[in-house]
């Protein structure tokens, strides 16, 4: 957690909001990096089966499409998981074990 | 998180906020894990869009993985019970 440091003048409320914004953006960045790393791994595996001396145009086209497919897949998985967690927590009136 | 800049009420609010954000981050990490798994199982060829069967497969992978998790827990509890 980064140092709150000295934000100079400003109300405590403003400082508090600043901390919250900083946390939100750090977590969003970490999430984006994870997504990009996964896309890199999956699309390299699927589109570049035999690495040559450069990425040819068909490999590049495949990687481009693969990025889109992965993000669509991520959205589907995300919706499914969140719906499931909500359903389980309703059924159990609490943690649900998931 | 004692900090001279924030009074007790603000610290409590920040604490709750952090807890909520961490819970969200854990959810997102799970989603990454499931998507990794499901993409490998369900999207064998990269096309111009995901077809209906791929979409169903992705959703089913998540649900069946979670069913597997619950099954394993129940089975372990049964086994413990009979010892």
> pLDDT by residue (tens digit) across B46-69?
999 999 999 999 999 999 999 999
**Residues B6, B14 contacting (CB under 8 angstroms):** yes
A3-97 CATH fold: Helix Hairpins (1.10.287)
| Minimum-distance CB partner of B59 among A20, A80, A98 | A80
Q: Kindly state the average pLDDT of the residues A5-18.
A: 77
The rounded distance, in Å, linking the Cα atoms of A42 and A6 is 43
**ipTM attached to this prediction:** 0.88
CA B43, chain centre distance (Å):
20
What are the respective helix, strand and coil percentages of chain A, to the nearest 5?
Answer: 75, 0, 25
What are A31-82's pLDDT values in tens digits?
999 999 999 999 999 999 999 999 999 999 999 999 999 999 999 999 999 9
Answer whether A37's CB lies under 8 Å from B31's CB: no
Residue showing tokens 């009136």: A93
Domain boundaries, chain A: 3-97
pTM: 0.85
Residue numbers in B near A38 (CB within 8 A): 32, 35-36
């Amino acid at each position: 957690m980064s140092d709150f440091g000295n934000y100079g003048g400003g109300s405590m409320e403003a400082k508090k909001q600043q901390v919250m914004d900083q946390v939100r953006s750090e977590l969003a960045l970490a999430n984006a990096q994870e997504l990009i790393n996964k896309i890199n791994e999956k699309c390299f595996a699927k589109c570049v089966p035999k690495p040559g001396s450069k990425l040819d145009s068909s490999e590049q086209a495949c990687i481009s499409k693969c990025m889109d497919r992965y993000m669509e897949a991520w959205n589907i998985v995300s919706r499914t998981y969140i719906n499931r967690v909500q359903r389980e927590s309703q059924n159990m009136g609490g943690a649900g074990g998931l | 998180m004692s900090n001279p800049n924030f009074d007790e009420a603000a610290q409590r609010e920040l604490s709750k906020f952090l807890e909520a954000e961490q819970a969200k981050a854990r959810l997102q990490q799970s989603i990454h894990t499931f998507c990794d798994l499901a993409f490998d199982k369900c999207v064998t060829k990269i096309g111009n869009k995901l077809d209906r069967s791929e979409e169903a497969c992705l959703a089913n992978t998540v649900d069946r993985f979670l069913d597997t998790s619950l099954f394993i827990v129940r089975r372990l509890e049964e086994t413990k019970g009979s010892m």
